[in-house]
Amino acid sequence: SAWAVGAHPAILCRCAVIGGAGSRLSKHGNHRFAALRCLNRGLVMRDLLPTLIFLAGLAQWSVLIASALVPVRLHWTSAFTGLPRLHCQLFWIYGGYVVLAIVALGALCVFNADELAGGGLFARCLSLYLAAFWGIRLSLQALLDVKPFLTTWWLHLGYHTLTLLFICFTAIFLCAALA
């Protein structure tokens, strides 16, 4: 149809299914209206996604504030005294790799938000990786025994803020991967 010229094929496919015969989306029985509403939502998301990816990049860097507090708040110096030196070194090395990964992933998002939202194969693969990275981290929140360490209101707030950030990261990058 002429009204759909220039629209992304995936959006048109979804709109055709949603706005097709037998659809109950439109109160007025106008299936073309329902398809146009769907098309407009898809276009808004396409326009909004680069901004969300950019903001997610900045927010990923903010997670490093919590990372910097971990050795101090969890008393790593005294907690690791009974461990062999190699184990302590590995903790620091693994932590360093995670920090570098978050710095790099944040930079990719901040400096390449438009490309990541563009829907190319590499952008989708990287977005899927980011969704998996933060989705796994989100799922680990439920397994961590943090209760003894959440001794103040600001630590509780920080913990729940991190959980919210992990949810947002996972959702944003999943949308980018599937867009």
Determine contact, residues 125/83, Cβ cutoff 8 Å. Answer: no
Tens digits of pLDDT across the chain (179 residues): 334 444 444 444 444 444 444 444 445 556 655 555 555 556 556 789 999 999 999 999 999 998 998 888 888 889 889 999 999 999 899 999 999 999 999 999 999 999 999 999 999 999 999 999 999 999 999 899 999 989 999 999 999 999 999 999 999 999 999 98
0.75 exceeded by pTM:
no
CA atoms within 13 A on the CB side of 41: 12
Determine contact, residues 27/58, Cβ cutoff 8 Å. Answer: no
